[in-house]
Amino acid sequence: MAMNYSDKVMEHFTNPQNVGEIENASGCGTVGNAVCGDIMRVYLDIDENNVIRDAKFKTFGCGAAIATSSMATVLVKGKTVQEALEVTNKAVMEALDGLPPVKVHCSLLAEEAIHAALWDYAEKNGIVIEGLEKPVSDISEHDHGHGDEDDE
Amino acid sequence: MRQIYLDHASTTPVRPEVVEAMAPYFTEHFGNPSSIYPLGQEASDAVAAARESLASLIGATPREIFFSSGGTESDNWALKGFARANATKGRHIITSAIEHHAVLHTCEALEREGFEVTYLPVDEHGLVSVEDFKAAIRPDTILASIMFANNEIGTIEPIRELAAAAHEASVAFHTDAVQAFGHEPIDVNELGIDMLSASSHKIYGPKGVGLLYVRRGVKLQNLLDGGQQERGRRGSTENVPGIVGFARAAELAAEEIVPERDRQLALRDHAIRRILEEIPSAKLNGSWESRLANNVNFSFEFIEGEGMLLQLATRGICVSSGSACTSGSLDPSHVLLAIGLPHEIAHGSLRMTLGRDTTREDVDFAVDSLKATLQNLRMMSPLYEDFQQGKVESVIERFKADGFPYAN
């Protein structure tokens, strides 16, 4: 199936921002699973004013999974923890000029990965982030479309 | 940018000689073969010549060749047509778990009509066991359909032995030969094939045309009711330019079939050896011994196939994958799952299929690009990070420990 990715998605896929790890990160979250074909891990470095100084990611997944992780880390960098919560999957999609319908779940996973990292930060520091719910660590029920290969 | 097309199992470019042979049948010889004036006769003669030519290439007679719109229609026609025409003799059909969806989904449709279907498993190389096949035959089995060669992993099935086993029990034998026709020499009598599906666009012919070989005496119901075309077996005005092009492509393929197969086989083995030697955590999918000459299929651990395909595409390399993300469905390829791959490495599969124009330089460039791409994606992968830190075990290591020979 040919993927109609926007130029922005291709830009973030071919030249992803913030790939890597953060040692002694303030928060780290991993979501997804290998069986479904996508896993995202986000590291956040958060300063004493609750501002996200740095964000890094590692992703196992398709082009859209890599592009949404990249964009999500770009969007939360420099924001406060509260502001970062407003970086929804819709915001990630809009910033990427849209995603093909079968790839919308990638943006949900990116949002979930940020939330997982924030949850880890909150737990480590014994604080409650208003509006943050415990993330689902294993999003296996995501909504893929159905299609066939085309060899005949 | 230089483009390297390594997806010939998907489709092939039409050869210039084929385009040349087809061209007059769009314009000056545009007639309907059913018309009685000379314009119609010219078209009718061209279809007859094409039928004769294609028949001779597989050892059949012209009356045993029926034109269709492609491999999918031929498979539908063979299975549905045979099952419906022979339902009074029995309602059981045998096929394999790794068939193309043109066969698998047709079997599912027949199950909804009340037929019973046995989907034979395959071994780790993708081979159907002749013993399993024999054991699956029941008194009410009427038809078996086993592909000549698999489209994803290239495994060539033991067709002669399977057909013989079918005949011993008076079961008709169909084979989907879409990937093998024009690539491997095929003689339907020598192999004991009762029905065979083939497609034009896999052999440098046009899309939208295929054939079904039906051995004399084998009863089929029509799939397309209509006019008297194909001796009343398939209504629809013949795709004259397509049929002419298909026959020309098959003739050209036949002229070079063995040397070209051997040339591609050497390139294939070069690619397989290089990947096994130079790329860690890689596993060859399918059999090395019983394999189409143009097929290279690997799983690479810790990465997902679509990302690999997209990165290779930015380097001008056209290949395919059995990952779920490239098919748009939730599950990775049914073929890779059938040979026992866990989901996580089925997602990381890559298929390169070589063609007539593929050179050793192309293969080397593709393997070099693959190495760079994998390195890049693995650096981004949380699974690779965990693996390097010893937090997770390698799935491919498990295959090696279990004695699978072609993995690194």
The number of beta carbons lying within 10 Å of the beta carbon of residue A90 is 12
Beta pairing class for B92-96 and B141-145: parallel
Q: Is the dihedral of CA A67, A68, A69, A72 positive or negative?
A: positive
**CA-wise closest residue to B313 among B350, B346, B283:** B350
* pLDDT at residue number A139: 46
Hey, of B8, B79, B325, B387, which one would you mutate to test binding to chain A, going by the most A CBs within 10 A of its CB?
A: B325
Domain ranges in chain B are: 16-255, 257-401
Q: Is B231 exposed, middle or buried (0-12, 13-18, 19+ CB in 10 A)?
A: exposed
Asked if pLDDT for residue B229 goes beyond 70, the answer is yes
Long-range contacts of A84-88 (CB under 8 A, 24+ apart): A84/A52, A84/A114, A84/A118, A85/A115, A85/A118, A85/A129, A85/A131, A85/A132, A87/A111, A87/A114
Q: What is the DSSP letter of B303?
A: S
Domains B16-255 and B257-401 share a fold: no
The 10s digit of each residue's pLDDT in A55-108 is 999 999 999 999 999 999 999 999 999 999 999 999 999 999 999 998 999 999
Asked if pLDDT for residue B87 goes beyond 90, the answer is yes
φ, ψ of residue B328 to 5 degrees: the values are 80, 10
Task: Rounding to the nearest 10 degrees, give the CA dihedral for residues A47, A48, A51, A57.
Answer: 30
Check if the beta carbon of residue A134 is closer than 8 Å to that of residue A117.
no
Which one of 1.10.8.60, 3.90.1150.10, 1.10.10.10, 3.40.50.300 gives the CATH number of domain B257-401?
Answer: 3.90.1150.10
* pLDDT at residue number B323: 75
* Confidence band of B241 (pLDDT split at 50, 70, 90): very high
**Number of separate helices (H) and strands (E) present in chain A:** 5, 3
Q: How wide is the angle at C-alpha A29 spanned by C-alphas A25 and A33, nearest 5°?
A: 145
* pLDDT at residue number B1: 83
Q: What is the DSSP letter of A50?
A: S
pTM, two decimal places = 0.93
- Does the CB of A149 have a partner CB in chain B at under 8 Å? yes
Is B199 annotated among the ligand-binding residues?
Answer: yes
User: For chain A, what's the residue count?
Assistant: 152
* pLDDT at residue number A102: 87
- Does the CB of B326 have a partner CB in chain A at under 8 Å? yes
Q: What is the percentage of chain B residues whose pLDDT exceeds 90?
A: 93
Check if the beta carbon of residue A33 is closer than 8 Å to that of residue A74.
no
* Residues B137-153, mean pLDDT to the nearest whole number: 98
Residues of A in contact with B304 (CB under 8 A): 37-38, 60-62, 65
Q: Which residue has the tokens 């047709």?
A: B106
Distance (Å) from the alpha carbon of A19 to chain B's nearest alpha carbon: 6
* pLDDT at residue number A150: 43
The 10s digit of each residue's pLDDT in B354-378 is 999 999 999 999 999 999 999 999 9
Residues 6+ apart with CB under 8 A from A74: A17, A18, A55, A95
* Residues B176-192, mean pLDDT to the nearest whole number: 98
- Does the CB of B132 have a partner CB in chain A at under 8 Å? no
Question: Is B325 a residue of the active site?
Answer: yes
φ/ψ bin of B67: left (φ > 0), alpha (ψ from -120 to 50), beta (otherwise)? beta
* Confidence band of B324 (pLDDT split at 50, 70, 90): low
Residue A80's DSSP bridge partners are: A51
Mean pLDDT value across chain B: 96
- From the candidates A42, A85, A106, A118, give the one annotated as an active-site residue: A106
Is B151 annotated among the ligand-binding residues?
Answer: yes
* pLDDT at residue number B332: 86
Which of the residue ranges A32-36, B225-229, B346-350 would you say has the lowest mean pLDDT?
A32-36
Mean pLDDT value across chain A: 88
Is B201 annotated among the ligand-binding residues?
Answer: yes
* pLDDT at residue number A141: 40
The 10s digit of each residue's pLDDT in A13-70 is 999 999 999 999 999 999 998 888 899 999 999 999 999 999 999 999 999 999 999 9
Hey, of A18, A35, A59, A149, which one would you mutate to test binding to chain B, going by the most B CBs within 10 A of its CB?
A: A149
* Residues B112-129, mean pLDDT to the nearest whole number: 98
ipTM: 0.87
* Residues B115-121, mean pLDDT to the nearest whole number: 98
Q: Cβ of A58 and B101 within 8 Å? A: no
Residues 6+ apart with CB under 8 A from B27: none
Give the class (CATH, top level) of A7-125.
Answer: alpha beta
B16-255 adopts what CATH topology? Aspartate Aminotransferase; domain 2 (3.40.640)
Residue type, B140: D
Q: Cβ of A41 and B382 within 8 Å? A: yes
Domain ranges in chain A are: 7-125
Alpha helix stretches (DSSP H) within B256-297: 257-278
